[in-house]
Structures are given as structure tokens and as C-alpha cells.
Amino acid sequence: LGLIAGCDRQSSEAPQPAPNASAAETAAPSPAPAEQGKVDVSKKGTTAPTQAFIAPDGRKVTLADFRGKPVLVNLWATWCVPCVREMPTLDALAAREAGKLQVLTISQDMQGAEKVGPYFAKGGFKAIKPYLDPQNELGFPLSGESGLPTTILYDADGKEVWRVEKEM
């Protein structure tokens, strides 16, 4: 999973306080949304949204359909340069973590399969599949105004662990 967060991952260990620091000086700050492009844990524990999106076989699915193992959701579009750049990395991650982690690349292209199908064919991806959300029914609740790409890790129970939103 470090492949996605990369060098933007922040240490989970708090710095050691100074030997004579007061309680106020050593108190942990309250969580705040991370800067864009950084790992954000401010929504940790939030249940995955219930909006449906389209599976590669055309069925409507929700994130609840993937419970039982961790799920990495990547909202992307063919017109989004940073999104397109990270697709090979997501494909490699999905291949490496097969059976342990489900990687869902969910396109926000309004033309749906018409745009995404040829992109996937040309990309030759082996492990990721083209999920679609052409009406942005899932995309808007997940990414809000932050835009694309947005990547969110959910645990096996469908609770958010962390997210990384687009870099400016």
C-alpha cells in the first residue's frame, strides 16, 4: 500500500516530547484534513457510501459487495493526467496484492465504457478492471470538491482507513 502513499506517507509515531515538556506541549493535535496529495486520516472509521456503480460485467454493485477484504478505491478519468499516470502502479499493486486486497479503479468519465474500454485495451492492464461511475453517483460523495484522482483505502469491514486526494 505504500506504493500509493509513497513518500507522502506521514509517520504514525508521534515525536518524543522534550524531557521537561508540559502536558499541553505534549498533547496530540486533533486530526485535520490533510493537504492535497498527502495521506489524510481525518475520515478514518467512516463507513463506505452505499451508492451503486457499474462493474466490468455491467452489473450494478456497491462497495458493500467487496467487504471481507481490504478495498482500495481509486476514482479516476481518462482526461485526468495524474490519474492516467498512476494506473500502471495501481495495476502492479493489484497484481502483487491479489487475494489480499481488491483494487477498484472507478472511472468518472461521463461517456462510460465508450471512453474507458479503449483506454483499458490500449493500456494492457492485467490486474485492474474498468469499473464505471458515469453519473458520479459514488464519485461526488467520495471526492466532493477535491477532484481527481482520489484514492481511499477501506478495511475488510468497509470502514475508511485513509485517503489521498489530488495534488495541485
**pLDDT tens by residue, 124-156:** 999 999 999 999 999 999 987 788 999 999 999
Pairing of strands 130-132, 102-107: parallel
Confidence at residue 6, expressed as pLDDT on a 0 to 100 scale: 33
Q: What span, in angstroms and rounded, lies between the C-alpha atoms of 33 and 156?
A: 23
Read off the pLDDT band of 34 (50, 70, 90).
Answer: low
Mean of the per-residue pLDDT values for the chain?
84
Confidence at residue 112, expressed as pLDDT on a 0 to 100 scale: 97
For the stretch 63-122, pLDDT in tens is 999 999 999 999 999 999 999 999 999 999 999 999 999 999 999 999 999 999 999 999
Read off the pLDDT band of 36 (50, 70, 90).
Answer: low
Phi-psi region of 105 (alpha: psi -120 to 50; beta: other; left: phi over 0): beta
Q: In the chain, what percentage of residues exceed pLDDT 70?
A: 77
Q: At 37, list the grid cell.
A: 496529495
For 91, list phi and psi in degrees, rounded to 5: -65, -45
Nearest in space to 161 (alpha carbons), one of 45, 36, 31, 38: 45
Confidence at residue 93, expressed as pLDDT on a 0 to 100 scale: 98
Give every CB contact of residue 20 below 8 A, 6+ residues apart in sequence. Answer: none
Averaged over 11-17, what is the pLDDT?
39
Read off the pLDDT band of 17 (50, 70, 90).
Answer: very low
Nearest in space to 87 (alpha carbons), one of 147, 3, 7, 163: 3
Does the global pTM surpass 0.85?
no
* pLDDT(42) > 80: yes
